[in-house]
Each structure stands twice: as structure tokens, then as C-alpha cells.
Amino acid sequence: MALDLAPVPRGWWHSFRLALRMARRDISRHRGRSLLIILLILVPVAGMTGAAALAQSMQETPAERVQYQLGSTQARFRSMPASNAETVQDPVFETATMTRNFTVDPDFKPRNPRNAIPAGHEVLTETQLTLTVRAEASQGGASDVPVMAKAVDALNPAFTGKYTLLEGRPAAARDEILVSPGALERFGIRLGDRLTTADGTFAVVGTLRDASYSDGNPILFLKPGQAAMDGPAAEGNPLGETMYYLVGSEPVTWERIRDLNRFGIAVLSRAVALDPPVPSGAAGGPGTIPAAGYVAAVLIAALALLEVGLLAGAAFAVGAKRQVRELALLAASGAEAPTVRAVVTAAGLWLGTIAVVAGAVLGAGGAAAVVGIARHLGSVRFPGFHLDILPTAAAMAMGLLACFLAAVVPARQVARQAVLGALKSGRAPAVSGPWPARAGGGLLVLAITCLATGHMLGLSGDLDARAARIPLVAALLTGGAVLGVAALVLLTGTFVKVLTAHTAWMPLPLRMAARDSARNRSRTVPAVAAVLAAATLASAAMVLSASQMEEAKRTHMWAAQENQVSLPLETALAQTAGLGPGQAIDPAAVTAALRRELGTVQWTQVLQGPVTSKCDMRVPADGSLPTTTKDGVDCRQYKLAVPAGQECPATPQGRVLDGQDWRCNGSMFPAGVASQLPQLVVGGVGELRSLLGREPSPAAEAALNSGGMVVSNPVFEKDGVTTLQSYDVRQSLSGPGSAVDYKPLSNTALPAVVDAPDVPVPYYGVIPPGTASRLGIHFDNSVLLAQLSAYPEAAEQDRASAALAHVYRIQAMGFYVEPGADRTGSELLWLIVGTSALITLSAAGITTGLALADARADHMTLAGVGAPPRLRKALAGAQSLMTASLGTSLGVAAGVVPAVLLIGATRMYAESVVPWMPLLALLVAVPLTGSALAWVFARARLPVSRRSAGT
């Protein structure tokens, strides 16, 4: 009978089933190693899944907005700030408006939302106001604290989903109110206690949750018309905005909303929000996250997966070496090399599948738990739990791929071992050749090419074209970083061979560790590779974090010098702070109130500026714009012109070419900085000293004394001259994007000297009173600037706010003290360093433990020839020191270079910052700590092992 050598039908399936069965049995026999691999893959997959779910859960959906804002009502009507009938609201976020015409229309007359409600609806009102509550201070005494309040029938069934009663009972009597849980904690009271406010004393009978605010916010809930709010006693306590809720079955359509927008009324409609007729431009979503965050996240995620893949590869390498006799027997019985490889790779599929499924479930479950706990505690950070399937599937696929690739290399290595050598000894040497070094060299060339190409594309061409290429540039640089790590991994064996060639001068433990590393490179290379990947991740994260912190400091919006507070004195500014019209503010009274409540006031200074408080903002029907009103008050404001040639270099689309350019930085940049300080300060040396926070330069003093001007930014001065422009605040022009500009009315050249503040305080400059009067500038007291010696505590701010409220004769007074740029950046950076070092150290510990497990036979041989326990412990420490030192050194280089190139090419931040000291700490601390831990935890006495068969 002829021998049939034809392939068995579906033979590949039988081979694959055999590989799966053998892999499953090996996994069950080595539960510890299998659990380690599962955890290595599970943790990053869970982290990425949970992070994606939490990020998505922060975005409020239209359905959630409708539930939390409307309850079960049909719509909400409110006033919309508009200067003409061309303003259009967003269909979902009605407070977001859009317009292309900023001109004030004299015929535009906004309607009261109450008068625009269609017939056939029941109407509920909600009025926002501010009450002052008498709070007892911990040091004794009391102060009036401004508290947010709402006048609303909160427990009406129509508000189900918007308001929820947590504890207590509904308010029944006229002197009973509900409060938020934060109000109980803020004022140290319990249910049944009484609160004294400016509108009466109320008994607190229950706690209420407002779905729009976190429970920690102190809020008082009253019913419409309760207490003295609507009577004469409410004078000085004007009600805030009143919103009207429609209860009924008739929906409010988008056509109706567009008609109402023309009359200055904004509407949140249930029907429109749930089915927007046009895209919602204000809705949150992934697109709201800055591109820099995506680029950094992609790089960190890629390096993290590479790290865990290499850690898992080290574990698979040890497991494959333990399987060598079993797999050799399989080969000797006729199994082909693909079948032998499939046994190890099948283990990767088993473990990877378990890890990614468990990781996705754990990550999603953890995110759901965080959202649920946050919602239960009353936080509004997460409107609801939103699991995005696409990022979850991507994280699972990447984790499974990492685990599979981690098993491929040891599988190929074991399959190539000689069958006869494997049967003679369970420790047959691995087949080595020049291909790892050649492949590593090729990948290194490819990585350098990708990095260079990405960097060149990111820096060549005009800025608008470079901005369009950012995704490609980020992909090239991220791919180059990953390829660079892979190249260094493949070249690790060569590095080990070269570095350990001349070790005769080293102490015995280091000499033995070097020779063992060179001889057993199949054990050394995975360990160094895992540490290398961890150090790459750590160093890249440190560079990105340091650069982001420096960018945050550079772009900090300064309201004044550090620990300074500016309080309005001029009527227009006072009205923005909440004052009524026509009130005169006495600077001496404001100063006395501050000094009485704060012991940290060093000095105060009155700053004067141009007056527009009495300017009639209405434009006549004929369109004429007189510079003065009938009372003779000037309607002009002032700014400094940027001389020709000193404009901030930008592209046609408005992108700044160089964020570090001196023409794009300093006081009043970026343009349109909002501040309570007068943009043009009228005064002398004293005023300039307070704005600078130091003594002015002699040239600045001389300029003020001679009638010249001292400007805050060199961009406004050229050849000793600056140009003062006037503009009418009633005549606005649309600038680039959504910016608002004004048409200059006059240009006046003045002699000028530059004396820039150390930080970009937002003011143009200081002009002497005589020069201002000569130019026809009407000026008066604008703000009181006070310097504090330290940032006030919360209780001090409460007392100061209450004292100022009495001076200004209002319920609440804002009290903002400039805290300065983030001074915790260095501490946060060192926290990141510690976390990065912990990650790298854990990688070193895992790989050292795996290497020691693989080298158990060598240590038993040492013990058999009489080596003392301390030598074996020293050898373990030396092996960990060499592995961690080489891995961290290569990893720092592989992480810093791509991160620096990525920042420069994608313009994530203005400049890249390399934290040299933290990186040096990482290079030194991780190897030394890992070596010490290996010495401590290495077992001094090994168990007696019987002689293996065949040896």
C-alpha cells in the first residue's frame, strides 16, 4: 500500500487545537508566571479603558442637559445678551451665542421673556440672587458671607430630575427654607437650626440637591415671594436673573426659538435639544480636548504598551526556556517548527485574551464606580457614565497585540533550538546569529529617518500648512520613538557584549554579573529591554510634564502683581462688581475696611484712569457718534498702537509664528486681556511704583517728571515715541475670529520710556496728569490697588468681602487676590519623577526576579562549589545594577529625544524643557535602589534540588 503523504484536511486546525491545549496546560501548571503576565497586560488596558470612559463621562449629553436643567418641563426662557437682532443661540447650550455683527442697533429693544411665553403653558419661575448670611468665625465674632440663593418652587413635580430632596421635609412655613449640603457644612449648622440673613431669619428644614451644582456649594433655596425679597425691605438686594419654565405638552420649535432670538430671548427647548436641527457648536466632546493632549497621550500610550509588552516578553522568555524539553519532545515526535512556535504563541493568545477582557471590564467597571460614587456624593463633574466603545476596543486590541508579540520572539527562539541538544539538556544554548544586530541597526536607521522627517515637516513651510500636518508629524515622531526603542532592544545584546568585554578590573560580584550577562544574553536582553522601555516612558513623561508646567507659568493671566488686589472706585467698574448706579466710593473707607479685617495690608494706592461711567451707550437713530454726552462726559477710551515693524508675526489665519518672540509677549498680550486695572493709568512715580511692585528706573521717573509716558511693554515704543490712540466704546468692529476691535478716532505721538513690570500686568502705561489734561482726557479715581504680604486664608477673604460689602452698600463684593503663577510646579514635577521612578523600579524588580528565577540552577551550582550566601546575594545585586543601569541609560536617551522633537515640531508648547536634575535622579536612584532591593530579597539559602534526568 502506497504511503499517502497528502496533507490532512484542515490539519492546521488540529495543530492549532493541540497548541491551545498544551498552552492551556502550561498556564495551569505555572499559575504564578501566568498571573504576572495577565496583570502586566491587564493594568494598562484597564487604565486606558477607564481613562477614556472617565473623559467621555465628563461630557454632558443633550439628554442629560435636558434632565438636569429642565426636569420634566418643556422649555426655559431667559434673557440673552445681544446688541442687535442678528445674535443666534446654540440649540443645546442656549447661553452660547454667535453673531457676525457687533454693531449696536439703536432700534433693537429686547423683550421681557415673561411677555414672550406662548399661551397654553403653566409657568414656573426660578430667580437667582445673593443673600448675606451671618457666619460665626472660629476665632470669635461674626461676618456677613455672601451666599448664592434661588427663589424657586424646587419640589414641584415638574422639576423632578432637576431638584431632589435629600434629607428633612419640604418647607411649609414662611420662615422655613431648604439648603444644599454644602451650606450645612459651610455654616456649621444642622437641620432645625436657624440662619440669619439680610432678608430675615429662616429655619433650615431640609437639604436639597441641585443637579446643576455640586453638593459642596452653599446654596439657599427659597420659594418665590418668600420673606422680604419682593417688598421694600429688598432695596439694595436686587433680584438676579429670572428664568421661566414652561409646563405642558406643546413643544417649543426651533423656528419659534429663532424668532425669540431676534428679541433677545434665549430658549432651552426639550424637543430642540434632543433633536437639534443644526449642529451644536458648544456641545462638549472629544474635539474640545486640546490637540496637545492628544499628541502627548498617543506617545505615552504607545510607550506604555511597549513597556508592558517587553515585560511580558521577559516573562514569556523564562516560561519558554522552562518548556524547552517538552517542546523538544514534541519536535522529536514529528511536529514542525510552526507547531512548536504555536504552543508558545497560543499561550500569548490565552493570556492576552484573559487580560484584555478582564482589563476592559475592570476599567469600565472602575470608571462606572467612580462616576456612581461622584454622583452619589453630589458632584457634577460627571453628568453620567458614558462608555465609548471605540477607545475600549482599541485598548483591547493594542493589549492583545502587545501580549501576542511578546510571545512571538521567545517562541521563534525555542523553535530554532536543536532537537538533539534540547533532549540532552534542558538548558541548550539558544541559537544566536548576527540578525538581531543587523535588524536593530536597520530599525535604528528607520527610527532616525522617521524622527528627522517628522521634525523637518513640523518646522518647514508656513505655519498654517504645518498646523495641517500635525497629525502626520505626530504619527511620524511617535512611530520613530517606538521604532527607536525596538532598535535599542535588538541592539541590547551587542551593547552587553561590548560593555562586558573588559571587566577584569571590577570586583568579583560585578565581574561575575558581567560575564553571566554576556553568556546568557537570552536572559539579559529581555530584562534590559523592559527597563529600557520603562525608562523611556518615564523620561518622556517628565519632559512633557516639565514643558507643560513651564507653559502654564508663561501663559498665566496676571490681574496685578502677586498678592495684590484691585477694588473698583470708578462707577462703571463698580457696576461690573455689582454696585448700583451713581454710588460714590470713598478710597479711604475701602482702605480702612481692608486694614481692619486683614493684618497683611502693606500699602494701598489709588489709580486714576479715563472715565466712561456716564457715557450714554445708546447710538442715535441717525448713526452719529458724538464724543461726549449731554452731561459732557467723554465716551472715549485709550490704547497704545503697535508701531510698524513691531507687530507680532502671525499667519493669515492668525497663528502666532513664534510664541517666544518679544513682540508677542508682555503686558497687554495676548490682546484683549480683561482686567480691573485701568488700561491707561494717569499718575506719577507712586502709581508706577505700585504697578511695578518695585522702584521705577531713573529714566522712567525722569520721563514722568518731564510730561512723557512710561509704557509697560517695549512693543509699544519705537525710537523713544509711543502712539496714544483714542476710540469710541460705542463703535465696535468685528476682529479676527470672535474678537471685538474698535476704530481709532485719533493718534497722538508722545515721548515714551519703557519700564516693563517683571510679570505681564495688564496695563498700557502711565501718563502724567498734566499731559492727560492737555490731551483732553477726562480721568478720575478708577481702582484702589492694595498690596498684601501673604495670600489670605478663606476666613480672611470672607471677613474682607463682608467688610467691603458694607462700604459698597451691596449684598456681595468680589474679592480676588492675585495668587501668582503656579508655584507648586516643582513639587508636582518631583511627584511625577517619583511615580516614573517607581514604574521603572517595578520593571527592574520584575525583570530581576524573572532573571533570578531563570538563573536558579547557576546559583545552585555556586552553592555546590562552596560559594557563601553573601556572594550569591551580592551577585543578585550586581546583576540588577547592571541591568537597571544599562536600561535606564538607554531609556532616558530614547525618551528625551523624541519628546523634545515632538514639542518642537507640533508646537504643543512654546518651548521644550528638559528637567536635568530629575533625569539625573532617575539615572542614579533606580539602579542603586533596584540593586539594594535585589540584595535584600535574594534568598541566601536555596532549597536542595534533585539532579535532573539526562544531566
Reported as a single tens digit per residue, the pLDDT across 473-502 is 888 888 888 888 888 878 877 887 777 777
Pairwise CA distance, residues 525 & 409, whole Å: 12
- Are the beta carbons of 709 and 765 closer than 8 angstroms? yes
pLDDT tens, 81-135? 887 888 888 899 888 887 776 666 777 888 889 888 888 888 999 988 878 787 7
Nearest to 637 by CA among 588, 570, 689: 570
Other CB atoms within 10 Å distance of the CB of residue 11: 11
Distance CA 469, CA 476 (A): 11
pLDDT of residue 292: 53
Label the pairing between strands 740-754 and 709-711: parallel
CA distances to 565, 587, 600 from 597, rounded to whole Å, are: 14, 16, 9
Burial zone of 722 (CB within 10 Å; 0-12 exposed, 13-18 middle, 19+ buried): buried
How far apart are alpha carbons 108 and 858 in whole angstroms?
91
* Cβ 756 vs Cβ 712: under 8 Å: yes
Q: Residue 950: what pLDDT?
A: 42
CB count in 10 Å sphere of residue 863:
17
Q: What is the pLDDT of residue 811?
A: 58
**Residue 513, pLDDT above cutoff 70:** yes
Among 95, 188, 208, CA closest to 145: 188
The answer to whether the CB of 316 falls within 8 A of the CB of 37 is: yes
pLDDT of 118 reads 87
Residue 147 has pLDDT above 80, yes or no: yes
C-alpha span between 931 and 926 (Å, rounded): 8
Residues forming a β-bridge with 747: 725
Residue 320: per-residue pLDDT: 63
pLDDT tens-place string over residues 546-585: 888 888 777 788 888 889 999 988 654 444 444 444 456 8
Cis bond before residue 587 (omega within 30° of 0): no
Return the closest-CA partner of residue 886 out of 535, 538, 539, 537.
Answer: 535
* C-alpha atoms less than 13 angstroms from C-alpha of 464 in its C-beta half-sphere: 6
Phi, psi of 870 (to 5 degrees): -65, -30
Stretch 183-199: mean pLDDT, rounded?
86
Contacts of 880 by beta carbon, 8 Å cutoff, 6+ apart: 844, 848, 927, 930, 931, 933, 934
Where is pLDDT greater, at 625 or 246?
246
Is it the case that residue 416 has pLDDT exceeding 90?
A: no
Looking at residue 146, its pLDDT comes to 75
Cell numbers found for residue 945: 534540588
b/e map 759-788, b = 16+ CB within 10 Å: bbbbbbbbbbeebbeeeebbbebbbbbbbb
Query: What distance in Å separates the CA atoms of residue 363 and residue 800, rounded to the nearest whole number?
Result: 46
What CA–CA distance (Å, rounded) separates 727 from 669? 19
Average pLDDT of the residues in 159-180: 91
What pLDDT is recorded for position 120? Answer: 80
Give the whole-angstrom CA distance, residue 692 versus residue 493.
Answer: 60
- Mean pLDDT for all residues in the chain: 77
Give the per-residue pLDDT at 802: 76
∠ CA(725), CA(729), CA(730), 5° rounding? Answer: 135
pLDDT band at 674 (very low <50, low <70, confident <90, very high): low
Is 870 in contact with 513 (CB distance < 8 Å)? no
- Least confident segment among 81-95, 411-425, 443-457, 580-594: 411-425
- Region 323-346 average pLDDT: 67
- Residue 621's pLDDT is 46
Residue whose C-alpha is closest to residue 309's, from 536, 516, 30, 477: 536
- Candidate from 190-194, 442-446, 566-570, 640-644 with smallest mean pLDDT: 566-570
Which of 285-299, 373-387, 416-430, 547-561 has the highest average model confidence (pLDDT)? 373-387
In 314-411, the DSSP E strands lie at none
Q: What is the mean pLDDT of residues 357-364?
A: 90
Task: Put residue 668 in one of left, alpha, beta given phi > 0 → left and psi -120 to 50 → alpha.
Answer: left
pLDDT at site 888: 87
Q: Give the pLDDT score at 511.
A: 79
Q: Element (H or E) spanning 700, and its range?
A: helix 698-705
Given a contact cutoff of 8 angstroms between Cβ atoms, the answer to whether 426 and 948 are in contact is yes
* 723 vs 3, higher pLDDT: 723
Residues in the chain: 951
Does position 512 have pLDDT exceeding 70, yes or no? yes
> Which residue's C-alpha cell is 500636518?
469
Please tell me the predicted confidence (pLDDT) of residue 799. Answer: 80
Residue 746 dihedral angles phi and psi, to the nearest 5°: -150, 155
The two most distant CA atoms of the chain are separated, in Å, by: 122
Tell me the C-alpha distance between 867 and 864, whole Å: 7
Residue 187 has pLDDT above 80, yes or no: yes
Least reliable range by pLDDT among 303-312, 737-746, 937-946: 937-946
Residues near 472 by beta carbon (within 8 Å), at least 6 away in sequence: 454, 457
Q: What are the tens digits of pLDDT across the range 712-771?
A: 999 999 999 999 988 876 666 555 444 456 677 888 999 999 999 988 899 999 999 999
Supply 40's cell numbers. 502586566
Least Cα distance to 886 among 400, 521, 369 occurs for: 521
Pairing of strands 721-734, 779-788: unpaired
DSSP-derived letter for residue 173 is S
pLDDT given at position 203: 92
- Core vs surface per residue 482-517: b (16+ CB within 10 A) or e: bbbbbbbbbbbbbbbeeebeebeeeeebbbbbbebb
Q: Answer yes or no: are the C-beta atoms of 719 and 752 closer than 8 Å.
A: no
The type of residue at 509 is P
Task: List the one residue out of 836, 298, 312 whose CA is nearest residue 537.
Answer: 836
In the predicted model, is pLDDT for residue 673 greater than 60? no
- How large is the average pLDDT for residues 606-611? 88
Closest by CA to 454, choosing from 466, 472, 437, 468, is: 472
pLDDT at 622 over 70: no
Question: Please, which pLDDT band fits residue 139 given cuts at 50, 70 and 90?
Answer: very low
pTM of the entire predicted model: 0.67
Q: What is the mean pLDDT of residues 160-189?
A: 90
893-918 confidence digits (pLDDT tens): 888 998 888 888 877 777 788 888 88
Contacts of 383 (CB under 8 A, 6+ apart): 57, 58, 59, 60, 61, 64, 65, 68
Top-confidence residue, 82 or 609: 609
CA distance 133 to 143: 8
Residues 91 and 275: their CA atoms lie apart, in Å, by 9
* Separation CA 646–CA 649 (nearest Å): 8
Cα 48 → chain centroid: 16
Whether the pLDDT of residue 605 is over 90: the answer is: yes
Q: Please tell me the predicted confidence (pLDDT) of residue 733.
A: 57
- Local structure of 128: helix, strand or coil: strand
pLDDT in tens, 6-31: 555 555 566 667 677 777 777 777 77
Q: Do residues 252 and 62 touch, judged by C-beta distance below 8 A?
A: no
Q: Which of 101-105, 628-632, 848-852 has the lowest mean pLDDT?
A: 628-632
